[in-house]
Structure 1
Amino acid sequence: MDSDGTQEARGTHANPVPRPAGPPEVPAMPPRPPLAPAAPPPPDGSAFLAWLRTPRPEAAPGVWRFGHRPRPAEEPDITPTRQLLSGAVIAFLVGWLIWSLLQNGYLGNWWWVPFDLIVPDAWRGADSDLGETGTFMVYRGYELLVALAIMVGVARLGRWGEIWRRFVAPRFHRPVVPVDPTAPQDDPAQWNELRAAGAVDAAERLAADARSGFMRDVDHARIQRAWQGVRTGRHSLATFSGAVLKDGAAACLHPSGARDLPARLARHDLLTGQVRLGLSADDPRNPYAYRGAGLALGPELLGTSLLAVGPAGSGKTGAVVRPVAESLCLHALAGRAAVVVVGAAGAGLGPADAYDVVVRIGNQDSAYDLDLYGGSSDPDEAAAVLAEGLVGDLADPHPGSDSRRSTTVLAQLLGPFRAVHGRFPSVPELRQLLDGAPGPFAALRQGLAESGQESLLRELDARERQMGQPGDVGGVLADRVALLDRPAFAGFFDTSGQSRPFTLKALDHPVRVRIDLPERGHADASRMLARLVLAQFTASVAVREDRSLFACLVLDDATGVITPEAVRGIQRLRSGNSGVVLTLRTLDDVARPLRGPLLGATGCRMALSGLTPWDGQDFAEVWGKEWTEARDVTDRQIIAETPAGKALHAVRRVITGKAPTARAVTVRQVERERWSASELAHAVPAGHAVLSLTTVQGEHAPPLLVNLRA
């Protein structure tokens, strides 16, 4: 058993993407690969077992669950230190005064009434049956009980217990060596699910590898994923057990043969699927349950898509995109996810060794190409996706802005060309057809006539009639295609089968892909290609056969990418177990009518430090308002009417320097913005961000101030 069922080819496209490693058919059980140089295993499995057995309690959305200690939802009412200590002293003095008054008889002898009711007569007086010593002990014992009763009352009144817990107990606290209380039946390192299913030998092999240090977190996650395939009936128990018995922790490998990434920059917990981004600030605007807790993202949050907005240098790439991409690559190695990371060349999106496919557009040394048509064999589908990439960003009044008309024009050319040549046109051929060059049109017409394709001949006739007409979009499409018909891209977008094109139809497999865009000198072409990749992604994940695999597109710079069709596509991703991560320098890079729908389509929204007030206004509107308690304090001067009162006020004014006042406090409920535009623009410290979260199940986390550097 070499996979969990997500790596097998499904025949979804004519030219399948080259497999991440080796020939298309991966051997059933490849040899154990060498260990990743950046993550050597410990000499024993103690570190791994400690990680595996660390508690991960259920927590609110976005909380880093690894070793998390839940806090109350509401902040407890903590008495100020000065008030607490003064109250304790006053209570002690009151207790001492009461005891002194009792001892001296100033309060009478009523407190001896219980003594008379409880103690027998034979134990009292000088002729007591207990003798002098016994009688002394009885009387002094009763006095001790009364003193203890007074002390208990005074301690409760003065909150001595809280003083002990806050100031004294921490000084006597000693670090306790943790003892693993995990019972054998609850120990995750024992693989009890396998034992219950009858695979005892496989469970013993995995437990032995864990103890000896041959297992790591990716291995555990990968084998758990394969075991899920057995539980769902995708694989047989015998096949799974045989693979585990043969290779142990190296069983069910990713097709690349890798068991880890070359290096890790962020903290990951593959047991929960989270990657830690930072620390929720201890700020009054954060809910008490989040303050001081780690902030993390996982597929359950990325499945609602993430939009991060912040100026250059605010940490979008280093603090958000790189950790998320690294986490998704680890999930892909575990057979859980497929990831496509798109950004400018040299943007720092991870080393090439961390990916299975690296497409360097414009770099002639690139081993892979990009399929402009998304691996589709349907001319109408290919035309719709290509039209979105070419003209999806044009304004409505502009000729050719209508994607439907652009789709029709491209379909009128792609269908006849594929019928004649058995493939879609290359970039130069498509440009000639859109320009209406007579030679290609005549050759295409002749080929259709010879093959008897009458319906496609009518499509071609319609295209010829429309050329040159007012409002024809062919010229606009030709101008956009011309951006790709440049010497730098001469070896790319080939459709003749001479290159190794990557298509997003491969997202049925746990593949790791990085696409480098040539932003330097080709900014317009880069934005067009990014828009094309987003359109292909939203179209491909909607028709996937295996939706148990989480698919994510990480777009480092979404400038010029957001279109009406893109927003509609993002809204549909959640139901397909997929999501996108988008970053923008400013919301001004998105057309004004699309800003609200974009913020509404993404469930996770992040505003980084340095945001402009007008960008902050959009975030403030989408985050809405909340009811909060407002306190109005009024100081009113006290006017003395008697000579004694005036004298007392004069003395008080000399001592304090202020006139005697009476304070009136009014408490009322008001509705205020969670984060105002001014606060987002000026109150977010450097290295921080305000982040709201939504899970695919619909749970929400309010906007949180997060320290991305912690």
Structure 2
Amino acid sequence: MDTEGTHGARDGRRAAPVPLTAPPAAPTAPPAPRQPPGAERSAAVAEWLADPRPKASPGIWRKGYRPPEPEPDTEGGDRRRIVGLVISTLLGLLFWSAWQQGAIPYQWAPLRLFTPGEWYWTGSMQPKKWQGEEAKIVYHGLVFGILVYTVGRLGAWPDATRHYVMRRPQPARAVIASLGSVGTLLFVWPSFLGLDWRPLPVADPVFSLVALVAGLDVFTSPVITGLLYAAITIAVLWPFVHIGGWWQAIRDGATAGRRSAPPPPRPADAPAPAHWPELRAAGHDKAADLLSAELLGGRMNDVDCARVFHAWRSAAADPAALAGFVDTVARDGAAAWTHPSGQRDLPVRTATHDLLVGQVRIGRFAKDERNPYAVRNAHAALEPAVLGTSLLAVGPPGAGKTGRLMRPVTESLALGALTGRCAVVAVCAAGADLGDDDSYDVVVKPGDPTSVHDIDLYADCADADEAAAFLAEGLVGDLDAVGTQRAATALAQLLGPYRALHGRFPSVPVLRELLDGDPAGLAALQAGLTAGEHSAMRRELDARIRQSHTPNDPGPALADRLALLDRPAFADFFDPGGEGRPFSMRAVVHHPLRVRVDLPEHGHEEASRLLARLLLAQFGYVVRGRARRPHFACLVLDDAARTITAESVRAIQRLRSLNAGVVLGLRTIGEVPEPLQGPLYAAVGCRMAFSGVTTWDGRRFTEAWGTEWIETKEVAQHTVFADQPMTRALHSLRKLVTGKAVTTDAVTVRKVERERWSASDLAHSLPPGHAVLSLTTVHGEHAPPLLVDLRG
């Protein structure tokens, strides 16, 4: 897409050209351009819209995806099938020839056993009555049917049919089956085409059986005769109907015919999606004409198209919203529903995106035998449908978590925010490469005096109990000695009275003093709650004062953790009553925001871990408060070390039903408390192991991915001991020439249960720049752990 001239310039403007020496003579007129301005861009967007996006398994890049050709034969399967077909057919022909000549011993014994003897002449099988002649014809047909079934089983005809015919796409499958049916009918009814060869014993045995049962007079009725002909023909054709998938081919053809019905007039050189056929089908031709003119005039990019498509699908089912959609398009054209920031694209893109389906390409599935053949060499992609089950990525520093996973995912979500479909909060260390500041609406840099925004520790919360719950989770959620519930109660006993008195929550220094049990601060707060309307808050504060300085008081531990934020570097931050512009996590559930929080890892590592833990706790609470929102909300933690708590694991489990998700990056799973490692793997639906993980980390992935049944072959070589002198001599000569004893192979094929990926394979077999990725969608679809080349 065109970047409006922002690529390659640090300040977002095109660099000034270097002055050049004037040419000796200027041309009288500039050469005419080969296409009008914006034509190249409009053609690229139109082609992008027209690219097919078929349904595919989770994790497969859908734009332009084509299912692979059938897997090539690698173990001589084609040779075995052909040999089986040829040998079985030859044996069948040999048997049938011998049968026709009467060379099979006792071939008439079954017929004599089941039919009356008066039908034949004594001492022979020569028919004496017409019933005997018809019985012999029925007997021939029965033997022929048994022969065809036996030959088909011996030659594995069903397997060969599936391999050579049924695996082919339509209409080739139906055409091959049709040719086979025509050839079979030529041998069943040769007389219809004037052929004089003997027909197969298919129709005559049926007529003879009917004659034996109902008598010869039945054939005087043309209706019955016609029905018999039709029944035999249908019976012969029925296997070919199944083999060729004729009904499915007919349905597909009818559906294609309906789809190819002539749409309203559109430019001949523009692909159909560029002409907005959905709007035209709904009767809004003027809006479609306007959008087509904008697109073909080069004034729309992929973000604009995705944003308008999203608005259309949201409004299509509501007549009132539909009228507003048409008015907005008429008023703003390609700029309709532009993001509040005014941006219609990101300044810089580092990954490949398909905004129509919300996918971002992160690599290519490797051509590895452990990957199913159907996905090998296909592009790997992520989208909100899989991120909604949350993703856990584990890999050592330098494995590519930030550059090859976090950056593309964050960039995709930021583009989704520009289309109104996503909100993203990216939390990373200061200096991490998760995009430029211009790519975000809010950039918070705690501890940096140049930061425009601040963090609202209370997430714009009006309920003291809710604010106390996630604040306690962020402060002491990683401490086993301090119960989170007791800490939340202690905080609520202070936050509620303070808000009732001052109309806001306290700043960090004030809250720290209150938790420390400062007599002056508690007395002042107690004195301000003398009015009758504050009696309940007065009781809360009195309970906190009584609990202060007791052995089980969580106040000191909370105060110690707040001391990490009560530092000179944070003097201008975390003050609800200050002059800063606080960012509230609650805003992401109401607006498609793009937010980046740069944590001060250097010098304030403990404070950074506390803030990351607090943001994760806030995210879990705020998305639960508004589950029915039109956009997907995602929290990306580039480094989730020491942020995972028991409550956050439970919150992650609930996110998939709340149209939200988190992406967690870890250097090692050891950065999560051991009792929470198993529950964390169970809570997330997507797991990603980067090259370089340890066997301890790999063991957790192995347990999460489970086992599968695979077919194994064991070959045992046994020495051949000959009994005959000539055979022993030949074996001795062969051993002398080859240097090896004569052996025979004993092959054992069995199914065994094996780990999908062992801890040793994950630790030692992953090439650099690769990762093993398993996915689960919010709808329950699964993709097994697959090897992904992140450089592809």
1:42–1:466 Cα change, 3 Å: farther
- In the other structure, the counterpart of 1:515 is 597
- In the other structure, the counterpart of 1:303 is 388
- Paired with 1:84 and 1:601, the residues of 2 have a C-alpha distance of 48
- In the other structure, the counterpart of 2:751 is 669
- In the other structure, the counterpart of 1:492 is 573
- In the other structure, the counterpart of 1:480 is 561
1:432-443 alignment, distance < 5 Å: 432-443=513-524
**What is the DSSP-based 3-state SS (H/G/I as helix, E as strand, rest coil) of the residue aligned with 1:641?**
coil
1:688–1:403 Cα change, 3 Å: same
Match of 1:49 among 31, 46, 49: 46
1:503–1:42 Cα change, 3 Å: farther
**Contact in 2 for aligned 1:607/1:691 (Cα 8 Å):** yes
- Paired with 1:494 and 1:42, the residues of 2 have a C-alpha distance of 53
- In the other structure, the counterpart of 1:412 is 493
Matched, 1:68 2:153: no
Matched letter for residue 490 of structure 1: A
- In the other structure, the counterpart of 1:615 is 697
Deviation at 1:341, TM superposition (A): 0.4
**Contact in 2 for aligned 1:393/1:560 (Cα 8 Å):** yes
- In the other structure, the counterpart of 1:629 is 711
Matched, 1:448 2:529: yes
Which whole-Å deviations, capped at 9, do the CAs of 1:533-556 have from their partners, x for residues lacking one? 001101011112642210000000
Match of 2:631 among 549, 563, 566: 549
Matched, 1:564 2:533: no
Deviation at 1:445, TM superposition (A): 1.0
- Paired with 1:576 and 1:297, the residues of 2 have a C-alpha distance of 19
- Paired with 1:220 and 1:683, the residues of 2 have a C-alpha distance of 43
- Paired with 2:491 and 2:384, the residues of 1 have a C-alpha distance of 36
**What is the DSSP-based 3-state SS (H/G/I as helix, E as strand, rest coil) of the residue aligned with 1:527?**
helix
- Paired with 1:358 and 1:233, the residues of 2 have a C-alpha distance of 37
Matched letter for residue 58 of structure 1: K
**Contact in 2 for aligned 1:405/1:473 (Cα 8 Å):** yes
Deviation at 1:453, TM superposition (A): 1.3
**Contact in 1 for aligned 2:39/2:296 (Cα 8 Å):** no
Which whole-Å deviations, capped at 9, do the CAs of 1:32-74 have from their partners, x for residues lacking one? x9936239966451111111111111111111111111136x8
Match of 2:503 among 412, 415, 422: 422
Matched letter for residue 191 of structure 1: W
1:621-700 alignment, distance < 5 Å: 621-700=703-782
- Paired with 2:709 and 2:330, the residues of 1 have a C-alpha distance of 59
**What is the DSSP-based 3-state SS (H/G/I as helix, E as strand, rest coil) of the residue aligned with 1:382?**
helix
- In the other structure, the counterpart of 1:595 is 677
- In the other structure, the counterpart of 2:345 is 260
**Contact in 2 for aligned 1:553/1:579 (Cα 8 Å):** yes
- Paired with 1:362 and 1:666, the residues of 2 have a C-alpha distance of 67
Deviation at 1:214, TM superposition (A): 1.7
- In the other structure, the counterpart of 1:402 is 483
- Paired with 2:468 and 2:348, the residues of 1 have a C-alpha distance of 40
**Contact in 2 for aligned 1:43/1:212 (Cα 8 Å):** no
- In the other structure, the counterpart of 1:28 is none
**Contact in 1 for aligned 2:308/2:336 (Cα 8 Å):** yes
Matched, 1:77 2:73: yes
- Paired with 1:364 and 1:520, the residues of 2 have a C-alpha distance of 15
1:344–1:420 Cα change, 3 Å: same
- Paired with 2:628 and 2:327, the residues of 1 have a C-alpha distance of 25
Matched, 1:380 2:376: no
1:198–1:183 Cα change, 3 Å: closer
- In the other structure, the counterpart of 1:526 is 608
Deviation at 1:465, TM superposition (A): 0.9
1:106-117 alignment, distance < 5 Å: none
**Contact in 1 for aligned 2:411/2:435 (Cα 8 Å):** yes
- Paired with 1:558 and 1:41, the residues of 2 have a C-alpha distance of 45
- In the other structure, the counterpart of 1:366 is 451
- Paired with 1:432 and 1:601, the residues of 2 have a C-alpha distance of 38
**What is the DSSP-based 3-state SS (H/G/I as helix, E as strand, rest coil) of the residue aligned with 1:576?**
coil
1:78-117 alignment, distance < 5 Å: 78=74
- Paired with 2:645 and 2:780, the residues of 1 have a C-alpha distance of 25
Match of 1:314 among 391, 399, 404: 399
Matched letter for residue 526 of structure 1: S
**What is the DSSP-based 3-state SS (H/G/I as helix, E as strand, rest coil) of the residue aligned with 2:773?**
strand
Matched letter for residue 37 of structure 1: T
**Contact in 2 for aligned 1:331/1:337 (Cα 8 Å):** yes
1:352–1:548 Cα change, 3 Å: same
- In the other structure, the counterpart of 1:197 is 282
Task: Could you list the structure 1 runs, at least 4 aligned residues long, displaced by more than 4 angstroms after superposition.
Answer: 39-42, 181-184
Matched letter for residue 513 of structure 2: Q
Matched letter for residue 722 of structure 2: A
**What is the DSSP-based 3-state SS (H/G/I as helix, E as strand, rest coil) of the residue aligned with 1:425?**
coil
Matched letter for residue 751 of structure 2: Q
- Paired with 1:650 and 1:250, the residues of 2 have a C-alpha distance of 88
Which stretch of structure 1 is more off in the superposition, 598-607 or 658-667?
Answer: 658-667
Deviation at 1:588, TM superposition (A): 0.4
Match of 2:305 among 220, 231, 234: 220
Which whole-Å deviations, capped at 9, do the CAs of 1:75-132 have from their partners, x for residues lacking one? 4534559x979x99xx9xxxxxxxxxxxxxxxxxxxxxxxxxxxxxxxxxxxxxxxxx
Deviation at 1:261, TM superposition (A): 0.4
Deviation at 1:651, TM superposition (A): 2.8
Q: Please list every run of 5 or more consecutive structure 2 residues that lacks an aligned counterpart in the other structure.
A: 9-36, 87-162, 165-258, 264-270
How large is the Cα RMSD of the aligned pairs?
2.6
**What is the DSSP-based 3-state SS (H/G/I as helix, E as strand, rest coil) of the residue aligned with 2:710?**
strand
**Contact in 1 for aligned 2:360/2:412 (Cα 8 Å):** yes
**Contact in 2 for aligned 1:625/1:671 (Cα 8 Å):** yes
- In the other structure, the counterpart of 1:35 is 4
- TM-score, length of structure 1 as denominator length: 0.79
- Paired with 1:595 and 1:690, the residues of 2 have a C-alpha distance of 19
- Paired with 1:243 and 1:200, the residues of 2 have a C-alpha distance of 15
- Paired with 1:603 and 1:614, the residues of 2 have a C-alpha distance of 20
Matched letter for residue 679 of structure 1: D
Q: Which structure is higher in helix share?
A: 2
For this pair of structures, how many residues does the alignment match? 586
Q: Which has the larger radius of gyration?
A: 2
- Paired with 2:5 and 2:593, the residues of 1 have a C-alpha distance of 19
1:662–1:371 Cα change, 3 Å: same
**Contact in 2 for aligned 1:41/1:216 (Cα 8 Å):** no
- Paired with 1:543 and 1:427, the residues of 2 have a C-alpha distance of 25
Which whole-Å deviations, capped at 9, do the CAs of 1:418-441 have from their partners, x for residues lacking one? 111110000010011011112111
1:41–1:425 Cα change, 3 Å: farther
Matched letter for residue 675 of structure 1: W
**What is the DSSP-based 3-state SS (H/G/I as helix, E as strand, rest coil) of the residue aligned with 2:561?**
helix
- Paired with 1:182 and 1:66, the residues of 2 have a C-alpha distance of 21
- Paired with 1:245 and 1:457, the residues of 2 have a C-alpha distance of 59
1:333-348 alignment, distance < 5 Å: 333-348=418-433
1:203–1:539 Cα change, 3 Å: same
Deviation at 1:600, TM superposition (A): 0.4
Which whole-Å deviations, capped at 9, do the CAs of 1:124-147 have from their partners, x for residues lacking one? xxxxxxxxxxxxxxxxxxxxxxxx
Matched, 1:537 2:598: no
1:233-312 alignment, distance < 5 Å: 233=318, 236-312=321-397
- TM-score, length of structure 2 as denominator length: 0.71
**Contact in 2 for aligned 1:627/1:671 (Cα 8 Å):** yes
Matched, 1:460 2:541: yes
**Contact in 2 for aligned 1:35/1:259 (Cα 8 Å):** no
1:694–1:64 Cα change, 3 Å: same
**Contact in 1 for aligned 2:3/2:345 (Cα 8 Å):** no
- In the other structure, the counterpart of 1:709 is 791
1:183–1:67 Cα change, 3 Å: farther
